[in-house]
Amino acid sequence: MPKRKQEYFYLLPKEEMAMKVLWDTEEALSASEIAERIPNRTWPATSIQSILRGLEEKKAIKIDSITRLGKSFGRLFRPLLSADDFAAMQFLRYYQNGKSDCYSVFKSILKNIDAEKEEVIEALQALLDEYKK
C-alpha cells in the first residue's frame, strides 16, 4: 500500500521545540512531560496545551493513549512523522514550486557532511541501489 502523502506545513518555533522532544524519545509523553523536557523554555508550561492542539490540527502528532496522571487522566502524545520526514517535507515544499535544480542542495549538503568521502559515497550508492528496486 503506498504511503499517504503528508500535507505540507510549517512548525512555529514553540511547535518545533515540542516536536524535537517527541522525536528524541521512544515513549509517548504527556503535555507536562513535553513542556518539562524543552530545554531553556522561557514560556509558561501551561502554553503547551495550545501548542499541542496546533500540532494535532496539522496532523504532526496523535493521541497515543489516555492514562492516569496523578489524580486525573491525561493524554499521551506521539509524533505522526519523523524528524527526517519533516525535513524532507520542507525540502519538497521548496522544490515543488517550479524549482527543478535540487542538485545544488544535494551538493551543499554533501559539502557540509563531517564524514569520510568514501563512507558517504558507499552510503549514497546503497541508497540508490535500494531506490532502483
The string of pLDDT tens digits covering residues 32-53 is: 999 999 999 999 999 999 999 9
The string of pLDDT tens digits covering residues 70-98 is: 888 899 999 999 999 998 888 877 776 65
pLDDT (0 to 100) of residue 123: 85
**Element (DSSP H or E) covering residue 129:** helix 117-132
Cell of 80: 505522526
Domain positions in the chain? 1-100, 102-133
CA angle 94, 96, 98 (to 5 degrees): 105
1-100: in CATH 3.40.50.150: no
The string of pLDDT tens digits covering residues 108-125 is: 778 878 778 788 888 888
